[in-house]
Each structure stands twice: as structure tokens, then as C-alpha cells.
Amino acid sequence: MMKRKVQYYETDMMGVVHHANYLHWMEEARIDFMDQIGFPYRRMEAEGVFSPVKSLQVNYLKPCTFGDEVEINVGVKDFNGVVITITYDMRVNSEPVFSGTSEHVFLDRNGRFVRMRRMMPEFCEAIEKKTEGKDNHGD
């Protein structure tokens, strides 16, 4: 789980968070999740593995405003060793404000698919441990 405070610059003239900022928060939370499971994205890139976004699905449930503290829970919905689907549940004061998923592929420096079970089996084990017995939203 990650917490962040809504900054003034993230809001629009109506005083609510601009919709594009939620995508930034998804990325921040995904990077934080990778750190938590012991595989910082910088390390993966150094080892020649990249994980670009394949698709996004988002649901805006309730607007956030300046000063809100947003709690972001991240989980793994699906992982087959080549493609991972990550879930995001954002809440303010325990109230849902956003949910979404991002699907990522694993590629090498030449843009070829990487089979993570072969290249980084310890990453696969960490994903499985983190999601075992969980409700697919991390902690």
C-alpha cells in the first residue's frame, strides 16, 4: 500500500484532480510495489528487462481534491510469465475513488518477449508470494 497527498498543481480550475494524474499515480504505485517485492524497476532495466504498458482500464468513481490523502493498493490479477495485469484500488478516507488495471509485457533490449520464469525465476516467486492468499490488492 502506498499513500500520497494530492498536490495543488494536480487539480484543475474546478478544484478536482485532473483525470490524467490518476495514471501517474498508477505508475508511482506500480514502481513502489516493485520496490516492495525486492525488484526495483531500475534493477530490472539494468538486467535487460523492460516492462512497457500494453493496456489500461480505468474507473473514476469519485473526484479527489487538493489535500486529500489517497491510499493506493496494488495487486496482481494475472501473471503468465510474459504478461502481468496489475490492479489499483484508490481510496480517500476508506471511500473508493478510483479502480483500474494496467497490463504490461516483459521485453528485452531488442524488443523481444522475455519469459520471466526462465530469465528471472526469483521475480516470479516474489510475485506469487505477494499474491498468495491475498485479495489481489496487495497488503
- Domain coordinates in residue numbering, the chain: 2-131
**CATH number corresponding to 2-131:** 3.10.129.10
Partnered with residue 71 across adjacent β-strands are 3, 91
- Catalytic, 108? Answer no
Q: What pLDDT score does 132 carry? A: 57
Q: What is the pLDDT along the chain (139 residues), one digit of tens a residue?
A: 999 999 999 999 899 999 999 999 999 999 999 999 999 999 999 999 999 999 999 999 999 999 999 999 999 999 999 999 999 999 999 999 999 999 999 999 999 999 999 999 999 999 988 775 454 443 3
End-to-end CA distance of the chain: 6
Q: Which of 12, 78, 108, 135 is catalytic?
A: 12
Say if pTM beats, i.e. exceeds, 0.85.
Answer: yes
Say which residues have a Cβ less than 8 Å from residue 38's Cβ, sequence separation at least 6: 126
